[in-house]
């Protein structure tokens, strides 16, 4: 499965502020959103709900989330009227075979992310030609050169409609729309992943400094350049 050359040209030439709607139109039925329901997720979810509340939204249920994230996911989906939300994650057998004591992340965090995020997401997106992400260039140095339309080596693509948005702009727009906030953001969590691998950050710290703190790891694997 892949985008046609015409589709790629259309989306490459579409301004960022119109890319989300254009992609949902051009790739109808072949496009999905993967959302963490994290600190800034509500804005992109609200934009999508305005266009199509039945749009497929995948949530990676790693079985290691903060309880607050799971509650927020359900409340936000109801608030926005999202009816296409699906939770995906590793099977019971995969957990039993590869991480039965929930200790894999302690000695091989990349393998843990592969088990709980990368592989389930790959399976879920097999039937889609492109997927939407909420990544921003300002989140990390590894994302600084990211394009709004991001072609992949396998002919598919990622759509990053908020690529140029700053935290301040997102915060302002979320306030304007009166969107519910993730409860952990008030406690200093600016980037929220699995509970054992996430901490709050101090004022002035990089927003993603609380992810895999103390390690060189900065990405879970689903957004590596080769994907």
Known catalytic residues are: 220
Q: Which residues pair with 26 in a beta bridge?
A: none
Characterize the bridge pairing of strands 149-151 and 157-159.
antiparallel
Q: Is 188 left (phi over 0), alpha (psi -120 to 50) or beta?
A: left
- Which CA distances in Å does 130 have to 16, 23, 33, 216? 16, 9, 9, 29
Q: What tokens does 15 get? A: 């301004």
- Which CA distances in Å does 20 have to 135, 160, 174, 194? 13, 8, 17, 28
End-to-end CA distance of the chain: 15
Q: Which residues pair with 148 in a beta bridge?
A: none
CB-based contacts of 199, cutoff 8 Å, min separation 6: 189, 210, 213
Q: What tokens does 166 get? A: 């700053």
- List of E strands, the chain: 31-35, 57-60, 85-88, 130-132, 149-151, 157-159
Q: Say how far apart CA 199 and CA 208 lie, in whole Å.
A: 9
């Amino acid at each position: 499965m892949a985008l046609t050359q015409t589709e790629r040209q259309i989306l490459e030439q579409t301004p960022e502020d119109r890319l989300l709607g254009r992609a949902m139109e051009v790739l109808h039925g072949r496009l999905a959103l993967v959302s963490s329901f994290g600190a800034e997720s509500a804005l992109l979810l609200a934009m999508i709900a305005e266009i199509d509340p039945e749009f497929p939204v995948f949530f990676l249920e790693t079985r290691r989330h903060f309880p607050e994230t799971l509650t927020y996911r359900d409340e936000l989906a109801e608030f926005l009227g999202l009816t296409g939300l699906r939770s995906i994650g590793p099977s019971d057998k995969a957990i039993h075979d590869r991480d039965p004591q929930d200790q894999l992340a302690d000695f091989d965090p990349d393998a843990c992310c592969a088990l709980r995020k990368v592989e389930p997401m790959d399976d879920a997106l097999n039937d889609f030609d492109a997927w939407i992400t909420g990544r921003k260039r300002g989140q990390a140095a590894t994302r600084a050169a990211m394009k709004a339309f991001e072609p992949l080596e396998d002919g598919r693509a990622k759509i990053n409609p908020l690529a140029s948005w700053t935290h301040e702009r997102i915060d302002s727009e979320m306030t304007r729309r009166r969107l519910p906030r993730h409860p952990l953001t008030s406690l200093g969590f600016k980037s929220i992943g699995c509970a054992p691998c996430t901490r709050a950050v101090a004022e002035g710290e990089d927003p993603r400094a609380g992810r895999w703190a103390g390690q060189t790891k900065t990405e879970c694997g689903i957004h590596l350049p080769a994907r």
